[in-house]
Amino acid sequence: MAERFYSITHLSTERLRELYSSYRKHGWVDGDYYDLIPDGVTPPELPDEEILFNIDAGNEHNYFVFMAHHEDEEDGVMIGFGLSDYPSFAVYLHLPPEMLDELIEKYSLHDFKEAKNYTGREFLIEEKSKGSQN
């Protein structure tokens, strides 16, 4: 599994809304609560208009991640949008991996964090190579 996170903090509310509305047709959307919820409670199915109205650049739950070989998700881009009128709920726009370069260029994205699920050997090799560079 590998994840590469990109900062979207420089995007205004207007740009985030434009990103969602422009790319919605290229992927699929789901939503979920931040914390575990009791059995039988299902997330609301919000129409795109409600989602767009509630996207806010100041929401701390907004994020952009590229995932590959993740056990619970398809390879590709996932953009999380915290919603202002739904403080415990977020919507996630899933896009195919081939859209990553276009999104990076169009929205001036810069990666800031990478997470990998290494085998023990892979981890030791990378850590050793980091140590030899210092």
pLDDT score, position 134: 41
**Residue 24: both structure tokens together:** 């919605």
Helix (H) or strand (E) run with residue 47 in it: none
pLDDT score, position 34: 73
Q: Which domain holds residue 78?
A: 2-133
* Three-state SS at 79: strand
Q: Quick check: 114 and 3 in contact, CB under 8 A?
A: yes
User: Please, are residues 71 and 1 in contact by the beta-carbon 8 Å criterion?
Assistant: yes
Q: pLDDT at position 56, please?
A: 97
Whole-number pLDDT of residue 128: 55
pLDDT per residue rounded down to tens, the chain (134 residues)? 788 899 999 999 999 999 999 999 999 999 887 777 767 777 788 999 999 999 999 999 999 999 888 777 789 999 999 999 988 889 999 999 999 999 999 999 988 766 665 544 554 455 456 554 44
Q: Smallest Cα–Cα separation from 79: which of 29, 132, 130, 133?
A: 29
The answer to whether the predicted template modeling score (pTM) of the entire model surpasses 0.85 is: no
- Cβ 99 vs Cβ 115: under 8 Å: no
- Residue 132 CA to residue 34 CA, distance in Å, equals 40
Give me the pLDDT at residue 130, please.
Answer: 53
Taken as a whole, the chain contains a residue count of 134
pLDDT of residue 114: 63
Closest to 93 (Cα-Cα) out of 19, 30, 17: 30
Is the Cβ–Cβ distance between 8 and 82 less than 8 Å?
no
pLDDT given for residue 45 in this prediction: 86
Tell me how many domains the chain contains. Answer: 1
pLDDT of residue 33: 79
